[in-house]
Amino acid sequence: MRYYLLNIIWIAAAVLVFAFVVRTAVFMPEFIRLNKYLKSEIQRAENSAERRHWKRTRRKLFFCFIPFVDVNNVEGFHGRKR
């Protein structure tokens, strides 16, 4: 009985690792493209307000690496003004 529970835990851990790897593989090309775009917009910004906007957008992009955060709910984690 004890080994049965241990096997279930190992299988669940393997499924979670597999899901993380797949999500990362799917997200990385788009992340790299968006990150380059945001860097260029930060450099091209004409004033500090515009620069702050692009930097904040870039930070939101980095928040999407947290497993339970995606583009739909990132505002809940980063919605507060600083």
pLDDT at position 2 over 80? no
pLDDT digit string, tens, across residues 56-81: 889 888 877 776 766 677 776 555 55
Q: What are the sequence ranges of the domains in the chain?
A: 2-78
**CA dist 29 → 39, 54, 77, 80 (Å):** 16, 20, 23, 28
pTM for this entry:
0.63
- At residue 52, what are phi and psi to the nearest 5 degrees? -60, -40
Residue 60 contacts residue 78 (beta carbons within 8 Å): yes
Does the structure show a pLDDT above 80 at 28?
Answer: yes
